[in-house]
Structure 1
Amino acid sequence: MEWSKVLSRINWQLILTLSICFIGEVPSFATSPARIDWFTVRDVEGQSLDLKGSRWKVVCFLGAECPLARLYGQRLSQLSGEFAPQGVRVIGINSNPQDSAADVRNYMRDLEISFPIVKDEDQSLARRLGATRTPEVIVLDAAGMVRYQGRIDDQYEPGISRGKPTQHNLRDAIEALVSGEQVPIARTITVGCLITFIEPAAKMQARDESLTFTRDIAPILNQHCVECHRPGEIGPFALTDYDEVVGWGEMMLEVIEQKRMPPWHAAPEYGKFIGARHMPPEDLKTLAAWVSQGMPEGDPKDLPPLPKWTAGWQMSTPPDEQFTMRQQPFQVPAEGIVDYQYFVVDPGWKEDRWIHAAQVVPGNPSVVHHSIVFVRKPDGTRSNGIGWLGGYVPGQRAVELPPSYARLVPAGSKLVFQMHYTPNGHKTEDTTKVGIWTIDEKDVTHEVTTRVALNHHFEIPPGAKEHKVGLQMRQFTSGSLLLGATPHMHLRGKSFRLEARRENGLETLLSVPEYDFNWQHLYGFTSPIPLDDISALEMEVTFDNSAGNPTNPDPNQFVTWGDQTWQEMAVAFFDVALPCDQPRIVVRHESDEPAESQQQRQERIDKLTNEFLSDMDSDGDGLVLYDEVPESFRIFGFKQMDHDHDRRIERSEIEKEAQRRL
């Protein structure tokens, strides 16, 4: 890309940003008429556009595979039907070189689009109207003057899905125009997928072909992108062939430069992790240079073969057993927020299972934000950890435990599927399943459990930009090894830091400076960390409840612990391996805290106990019953505190837990 074009883009973005910061909206400005003979334009079905009686044209630029264009498809159809009687006509335009007419027709069928869509083969309509992204809308009057240009509303942005829009920009513009009033905000910043414009043939012939797709770019994409961006996987589009890649050239650069892709959020200066995703600067430089050169294809003989990926199950063999979350699919609505769903499955196990690997496979990856499968052990069974079996989040590969490592699942246990769905713009359904791989007990040297550190005694004030909450885990069994960590917060989660306290001070094991609720990684250490010389794992979670957090459901609310995404959690999961041939002895360390009197310690225990009862004892009878706590606490913490397994937590049990934590 020429530097003049780069500077022009930067200057324009800077002007818009400063306008928003100091004025509160993007200023409107006069535009030249778009002189387009709409009566000669034909839609993807070959039909001339019927625009008789239309006073206003709402032109929507749409991409068949752009996630935001898919989310907004049905909403545009609703607006089209609502305002058609008032002389408003909605026209879709697809200017993406990677989308064929068949792709557009499939898009219309899948999303039940009621308005016509034009395939802008030469991209002339996009150039004349100044469109740059999908979905971008432009409202024209009868004279072809642009009266509004920008986004549809503010509900969806890349990586952001609000429960409902707070600004209805397109609707406000249409309602103002049909009422004969001034459009309140004539221009807004469009978010979504960049349209890659193809250079004219004359320029294409004169371009520099020192870099080619087949020789230089395909190997980079195969290494960093194709794992997810291939047919049948979670990426919204494939990056496996030249014609498709060309259409996403500019967009690829943007998401990589903004560090949205490849998805990985651990700071590189701390720790080494299994499956870490980083695109080296030299690869990004090569990709940017290729795009600036016009994206030449090169010699097909130079094209490397695609990596060998396992479809469906990711282990070398099929699972020994598999279970679906329920027989009937769960119906996912077209939009809105879906409460966490829990499904209990009885696998019918009459004998113990030693599980070496588990993989959760979503039935419909486009709507499954994440899924976790827990083990609910029979009442009275020794509880060692929280019963984690396996999980799925977009982009995370199934992890096989080291050889001779396995999880023990007692006979009679049940499986609990925790499902979090994010609607994708049209009604659909899902049936998620889990597969397990077992090994014989005689081959097991280490039992793997998942422990949890949590703090539910917090209240985030309205508008707080950096509200910090501390977590801690102490008392590790002799010979234990830390295999990995998974931080968990919700939409206000900002950062996470994990430190190990040793005799000589604190060591940072993991730092996640920009936590993203959409990508909840298991950070597995390449070398397990011995816990014998660690007196405590200490964590700091930071929440952003300010208006500057684009994912914040409501910055004006006090926020406390809860299952739902508009509430919050401060949780960290830890996979720990325990040697089977050693007695379970807890390693004791000298306290790192200043000495305190017995009375001071008891006061702290009483404080924690009273706080817990205040949070969890809804009827005030001094007992915390299994059925009166949030589902998340039932899974994460109830059995750890219910020492006598009677499905209720008494004050004495709370005090014991407080003593353990202190």
Structure 2
Amino acid sequence: MNICSQLLRYAGIGVFVCLVGMRGATAAGPIPLLKLQLRDPAGQAITLPPSEFTVVCFLGTECPLARLYGPRLERLKDRFGDQGVTFVGVDSNAQDSPAEIADYAKDVGLTFPIAKDADQSVLAVFDAERTPEVFVVDAAGRVRYRGRIDDQYEPGLARAKPTQHDLREAIESLLAGETVEHPQTPGVGCLITKIPHPSGKDADAATVTFTADVAPILNQHCVECHRDSEIAPFALTDYDEVVGWGQMMLEVIDQKRMPPWHADPTIGHFVGERKMPEQARDTIARWIDQGMAEGDADDLPPTPTWNSGWHLPTDPELVIPMRDRPFHVPADDVVDYQYYVVDPGWEEDRWVRAAQVVPGNARVVHHAIVFVRPPDGSDSRGIGWLGAYVPGQRTAILPPDHARRIPAGSKLIFQMHYTPNGRASDDISRVGVWFAEPADVTHEVFTRVAIDHDFEIPPRTEDYDVHISLDRFDPESRLLGVTPHMHLRGKSFQLKAQRRGGEVEDLLRVPHYDFNWQHYYQFAESLPLDEIESLDMTVTFDNSAANPANPAPEEYVTWGDQTWEEMAIAFLDVARPRHRTRTVARREEAGDVPTAQSGSSAGGQDDDRLAADQAIQSRVRKFLAAMDQDGDGRILREETPLTFQKFGFRKMDRNRDGVLDHEEVETAAAER
């Protein structure tokens, strides 16, 4: 379509655009002239210099991808600015004010101008759809490239590095007088909602309104995260804000990206499971179709209240920072895991019913785990898990009368994983703790881990299974919940219970594991473990090129701490009676259950004991094969993965000589 003769008045600030064929990036026809006269968000006039090429960038202040790509656009501006290339930003989002645009530019370090497309007329001419989406326009007004900046980021996806530098290569080709090889690429990022005219605030003809119909849905399913000071990048509590995200909301609901939940709905029920009913989705769709009317203010329900900064209704009884000064996160490069030891000064056993780890800077903290390191010789169970921050995980309070015991004199270990985002920043993360009275605790909760270090995923393999399991459970113990953990090649997870009679029960299936949303799946009803022979898990990896998050499909992949390596782990929360019951005592006397002291197998029969011994030796052999790199039967600390060095080695090294011998490994295997 030739719109050369179209004169557009843009945001009242004197922007005149004359273009041809914007949908087709290289449409033939008369070459119109592009002239822009802009004012910055403060109202100051900006005159763009005559340029051989102009890069028009559609941006949004709250779009995560626009924030990630902002510094990259600035670097491209610096690289090509003295070669006849001018950069200009356009914000067509109804929800972004001039002040927010100015704050965004300052925050991400942009020095090129950004103008507000208040009436979305520029959006209509370019037919732009997303932020960030870029257009390279030549001096005659022809669009020579349209699409993404590069392929590193997509909603819910972050590659280790770009494999295609689309905008950079397009500019380089144009400056060299060459044809752009790929003049149009898919736009990625946040959908720009096209605001209906007249204003959607006119509710006269609408049967669905924000106040009466949409706000209650958002309060129930979205506002928990989409509110100030929470993990979501923008709030959904105000009409003017919600209107600007209307079409984007529907897109992420239809793509099953929101609300974030990845368990198969046909297997099991879980505390806090997030599901958007189809009826609620259809209500939002009708509201958008009808023009997004605001409705009667009297119909607006009150916004739910939460405890600011904390997931639980009350403030924690104690807040412990990782250290007294920030850790400086560089703008880019790989940051090794950071570990901080904190002494909380607990001189007596403490019982913890909940713990929430809060990142000081969520933009660069990928995950943080706080472990308990008990003093030497203390009686402790499990891996010493206290709490964690991982994307998407909410803090769960333990069932009534349940708590974790932290032995007197214990120290806390913060494991910090930072992912630089293009701008240097600082972080001080912390953990908040809620205590329980010892007299009120009937069940001790601890975390066991099912893990396999010994795997090697072949290149270009779409489905590679790793099997892990857990067995030998304390009398009258119960399984409370599970957290699967893999990295970028993680594809799916399945948990089954093998009962003693041979029956197999599906407990959890995660068909589409998402590294960016690592849920704790807490069972609505805990599972009694007395009749469970083993908990068997299948971890499936996709190391093929079909996995868009895969950083290197052509490489073998083994165990490692960094995201381009892999882990096959499940953390399982188990509760056991704090005091031995009469039932347990009778069964122990009859040899019917394993005791903590004897380690005897269930049933007390010779063949079962033999099977248990064989299982222990199998674990020993597997552990030695994975860790004993020189094959001398002794494992030095430096032979083991970094995470194990920090948390597992000390517990197994009972004589504190810095070496794990066969006896120490066998003892640990028997206690598992």
Determine which of 538, 541, 545 is the counterpart of 2:543: 545
Task: Specify whether residues 95 and 215 from structure 1 end up closer, same or farther in structure 2 by C-alpha distance, changes over 3 A only.
Answer: same
Aligned position for 1:19: none
Determine which of 625, 636, 653 is the counterpart of 2:664: 653
Name the amino acid aligned to 1:576.
V
Determine which of 558, 561, 570 is the counterpart of 2:559: 561
Q: Count how many residue pairs are aligned between Structure 1 and Structure 2.
A: 633
CA contact (8 A) 1:499 1:510 kept: yes
CA contact (8 A) 1:383 1:640 kept: no
CA contact (8 A) 2:161 2:551 kept: no
Determine which of 48, 51, 54 is the counterpart of 2:48: 51
In structure 1, C-alpha distance between the alignment counterparts of 2:49 and 2:321, rounded to whole Å: 53
In structure 2, C-alpha distance between the alignment counterparts of 1:234 and 1:252, rounded to whole Å: 16
Moved more, 486-495 or 205-214: 205-214
Q: CA deviation at 1:396?
A: 2.8
Aligned position for 2:513: 515
Determine which of 300, 305, 313 is the counterpart of 1:303: 300
Aligned position for 2:97: 100
CA contact (8 A) 1:55 1:87 kept: yes
Aligned position for 2:470: 473
Q: CA deviation at 1:641?
A: 4.3
Q: CA deviation at 1:131?
A: 0.7
Determine which of 182, 187, 194 is the counterpart of 1:197: 194
Task: Specify whether residues 201 and 325 from structure 1 end up closer, same or farther in structure 2 by C-alpha distance, changes over 3 A only.
Answer: same
Q: How does 1:106-505 map to 2 (within 5 A)?
A: 106-201=103-198, 208-502=205-499, 503-505=501-503
Q: CA deviation at 1:643?
A: 5.5
DSSP-derived class of the 1:406 partner: strand
DSSP-derived class of the 1:245 partner: helix
Aligned position for 2:82: 85
Q: Deviations over 1:444-479 (max 9, x none)?
A: 211111000101111000011000000011100101
CA contact (8 A) 2:497 2:536 kept: yes
Q: CA deviation at 1:651?
A: 1.9
Q: CA deviation at 1:421?
A: 2.5
Q: CA deviation at 1:51?
A: 2.8
In structure 1, C-alpha distance between the alignment counterparts of 2:176 and 2:644, rounded to whole Å: 53
Task: Specify whether residues 401 and 421 from structure 1 end up closer, same or farther in structure 2 by C-alpha distance, changes over 3 A only.
Answer: same
CA contact (8 A) 2:202 2:293 kept: no
In structure 1, C-alpha distance between the alignment counterparts of 2:244 and 2:519, rounded to whole Å: 29
Q: CA deviation at 1:246?
A: 0.5
DSSP-derived class of the 2:460 partner: coil
Moved more, 474-483 or 377-386: 377-386
Name the amino acid aligned to 1:516.
D
DSSP-derived class of the 2:39 partner: coil
CA RMSD of superposed structures (Å): 2.7
Name the amino acid aligned to 2:521.
Y
DSSP-derived class of the 2:241 partner: helix
Q: CA deviation at 1:329?
A: 1.1
Task: Specify whether residues 229 and 506 from structure 1 end up closer, same or farther in structure 2 by C-alpha distance, changes over 3 A only.
Answer: same
DSSP-derived class of the 2:47 partner: coil
Aligned position for 2:12: none
Name the amino acid aligned to 2:505.
E
DSSP-derived class of the 1:402 partner: coil
Q: CA deviation at 1:69?
A: 0.3
Q: CA deviation at 1:378?
A: 1.6
- Give the TM-score taking structure 2 as reference length: 0.89
Aligned position for 1:23: none
Name the amino acid aligned to 1:623.
R
In structure 2, C-alpha distance between the alignment counterparts of 1:440 and 1:599, rounded to whole Å: 41
In structure 1, C-alpha distance between the alignment counterparts of 2:654 and 2:45, rounded to whole Å: 74
Q: CA deviation at 1:30?
A: 2.1
In structure 2, C-alpha distance between the alignment counterparts of 1:35 and 1:228, rounded to whole Å: 46
Q: Deviations over 1:208-256 (max 9, x none)?
A: 4000000000000000001111111111011000000000011101111
Q: How does 1:52-67 map to 2 (within 5 A)?
A: 52-67=49-64
Aligned position for 2:5: none
Which runs of no fewer than 5 residues in structure 2 stay unpaired?
Answer: 1-22, 595-600
Moved more, 39-48 or 186-195: 39-48
Q: CA deviation at 1:562?
A: 0.9
Name the amino acid aligned to 2:441.
V
DSSP-derived class of the 2:286 partner: helix
Which runs of no fewer than 5 residues in structure 1 stay unpaired?
Answer: 1-25
Name the amino acid aligned to 2:549.
T
Q: Deviations over 1:469-517 (max 9, x none)?
A: 0001110010101111111111110000000011141101111111111
Q: Deviations over 1:494-551 (max 9, x none)?
A: 0000000111411011111111111111111111111001110000000000011111
CA contact (8 A) 1:452 1:636 kept: no
In structure 2, C-alpha distance between the alignment counterparts of 1:294 and 1:68, rounded to whole Å: 27
Moved more, 377-386 or 123-132: 377-386
Q: Deviations over 1:132-181 (max 9, x none)?
A: 00000000011111100000001111112222211110000001111111
CA contact (8 A) 2:212 2:299 kept: yes
Aligned position for 1:7: none
CA contact (8 A) 2:33 2:140 kept: no
CA contact (8 A) 1:228 1:395 kept: no
Task: Specify whether residues 34 and 46 from structure 1 end up closer, same or farther in structure 2 by C-alpha distance, changes over 3 A only.
Answer: farther
Task: Specify whether residues 364 and 171 from structure 1 end up closer, same or farther in structure 2 by C-alpha distance, changes over 3 A only.
Answer: same
Q: CA deviation at 1:50?
A: 2.9
CA contact (8 A) 1:56 1:139 kept: yes
- The question of 1:612 aligning with 2:623 is answered yes
Moved more, 201-210 or 536-545: 201-210
Aligned position for 2:16: none
Q: Deviations over 1:619-650 (max 9, x none)?
A: 55432233542232245644664465655321
DSSP-derived class of the 1:107 partner: helix
Q: CA deviation at 1:393?
A: 2.4
Aligned position for 1:632: 643
Name the amino acid aligned to 2:563.
T
CA contact (8 A) 2:380 2:407 kept: no
Aligned position for 1:529: 527
DSSP-derived class of the 1:535 partner: strand
Moved more, 34-43 or 177-186: 34-43
- The question of 1:42 aligning with 2:53 is answered no
Task: Specify whether residues 28 and 202 from structure 1 end up closer, same or farther in structure 2 by C-alpha distance, changes over 3 A only.
Answer: closer
